[in-house]
């Protein structure tokens, strides 16, 4: 049984999630890529427990995280039963449904049947009677938005979730969802988009949303923003400036595609690394601090592979504010690099 560090809650600032009463630490532990069945459970345990000792209370999951799908939730379920049972009410456990989690026509997308079945499966894997946050993981143009939001309403009303939200919805789809939710008496609390110095789609004006960006819409309707992939799948760690390391995500066939590592993109990464060095920071620390510079961002999701990477990333929280001159230097290199994996499957629909 793990005994958590008694000073943990003093280590991480919190921000309020939109207009809700939910306060989240500015850093969240994401369990997307490093909690599959191929990784020893002891390593997963070490990383999660270290994150909690460092003040992280928010664990971000989805039904398809692993691989295989469900493996990450099973690992967290083991930890909740063994090490974290005394701390359950100190934690925010979030999960999502939208991408493929099992075979057949009801194993993905946004239908009521899929979303609620997925939530029940997630709860069984986690060994919980409720999660704190349940997200629609992506917009589904083939399912009426009323049906998707109705499933989120049922998740709340049945007590299987405490808060609900959406992930990777565009500005206009988020505005539509918020308006419809209000008419249904549903309170959406969070939006989880990808956001980094190389993936700035959340800042772009959307003509269909009256020229507002996703960040604008989230602020207008009172949604907290939990930004994921702040390191652009590892591009903003500097690991790829001299080639692809054999133990990297790119070498393992992960979401970091070889075409992302173009000469142009790497030149911008080098420019950003120079700004970070001038601040006495790692590139990863600068990337995290940059996302958190916007007060509309509630929390940033970190996906470290090791405790050393986690500790390096968290040092961004206590770093100096980014100055106007540094922001100007960053702006020259913080360009969209075509790394939004989720655009064609959600935010561009």
Q: How far apart are the first and last CA of the chain?
A: 46
The rounded distance, in Å, linking the Cα atoms of 74 and 88 is 16
Confidence (pLDDT) at 1: 81
Identify the helix (H) or strand (E) that includes residue 311: helix 307-314
Confidence (pLDDT) at 243: 61
Please write the tens of the pLDDT for every residue from 101-148: 999 999 999 999 999 999 999 999 999 999 999 999 999 999 999 999
Confidence (pLDDT) at 254: 66
For the domain covering 8-347, report its CATH number: 3.20.20.100
Q: Are strands 224-227 and 161-167 parallel, antiparallel or unpaired?
A: unpaired
State the helix-helix crossing angle for 171-184 and 145-157, rounded to 10 degrees: 50
Query: What b/e readout covers 160-197, taking b as 16+ CB neighbours within 10 angstroms?
Result: bbbbbbbbbbbbbbbbbbbebbeeeebbbbbbbbbbbb
Please write the tens of the pLDDT for every residue from 134-192: 999 999 999 999 999 999 999 999 999 999 999 999 999 999 999 999 999 999 999 99
The rounded distance, in Å, linking the Cα atoms of 71 and 346 is 24
Please name the residue that has the structure tokens 């959600």: 346
Domains of the chain by residue range: 8-347
Show the low-confidence residues of the chain (pLDDT under 70).
242-254
Confidence (pLDDT) at 247: 60
Q: Are strands 23-25 and 14-16 parallel, antiparallel or unpaired?
A: antiparallel
Nearest residue to 236 (alpha-carbon basis) of 295, 202, 201, 276 = 276
Confidence (pLDDT) at 10: 96
Note the pTM of the prediction, 2 decimals. 0.95
């Amino acid at each position: 049984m793990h005994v958590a560090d008694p000073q943990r809650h003093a280590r991480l600032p919190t921000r309020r999630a939109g207009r809700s009463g939910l306060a989240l630490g500015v850093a969240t532990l994401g369990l997307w890529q490093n909690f599959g069945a191929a990784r020893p459970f002891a390593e997963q345990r070490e990383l999660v427990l270290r994150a909690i000792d460092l003040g992280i209370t928010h664990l971000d999951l989805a039904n398809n995280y692993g691989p295989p799908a469900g493996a990450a939730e099973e690992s967290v379920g083991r930890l909740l039963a063994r090490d974290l049972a005394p701390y359950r009410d100190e934690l925010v456990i979030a999960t999502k449904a939208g991408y493929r989690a099992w075979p057949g026509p009801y194993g993905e997308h946004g239908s009521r049947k899929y979303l609620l079945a997925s939530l029940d499966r997630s709860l069984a894997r986690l060994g919980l009677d409720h999660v704190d946050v349940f997200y629609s993981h992506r917009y589904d143009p083939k399912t009426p938005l009323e049906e998707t939001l109705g499933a989120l309403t049922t998740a709340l009303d049945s007590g299987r979730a405490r808060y609900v939200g959406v992930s990777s919805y565009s500005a206009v789809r988020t505005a539509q969802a918020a308006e419809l939710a209000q008419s249904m008496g549903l309170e959406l609390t969070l939006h989880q988009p990808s956001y980094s110095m190389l993936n700035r789609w959340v800042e772009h004006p959307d003509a269909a949303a009256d020229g507002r960006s996703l960040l604008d819409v989230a602020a207008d309707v009172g949604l907290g923003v939990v930004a994921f992939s702040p390191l652009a799948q590892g591009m903003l760690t500097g690991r790829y400036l001299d080639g692809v390391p054999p133990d990297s995500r790119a070498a393992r066939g992960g979401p970091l595609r070889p075409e992302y590592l173009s000469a142009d993109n790497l030149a911008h990464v080098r420019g950003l690394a120079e700004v970070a060095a001038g601040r006495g920071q790692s590139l990863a620390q600068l990337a995290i601090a940059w996302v958190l510079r916007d007060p509309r961002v509630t929390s940033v999701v970190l996906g470290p592979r090791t405790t050393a990477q986690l500790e390096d990333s968290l040092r961004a929280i206590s770093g100096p504010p980014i100055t106007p001159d540094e922001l100007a230097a960053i702006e020259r290199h913080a360009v969209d690099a075509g790394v939004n994996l989720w655009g064609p499957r959600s935010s561009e629909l």
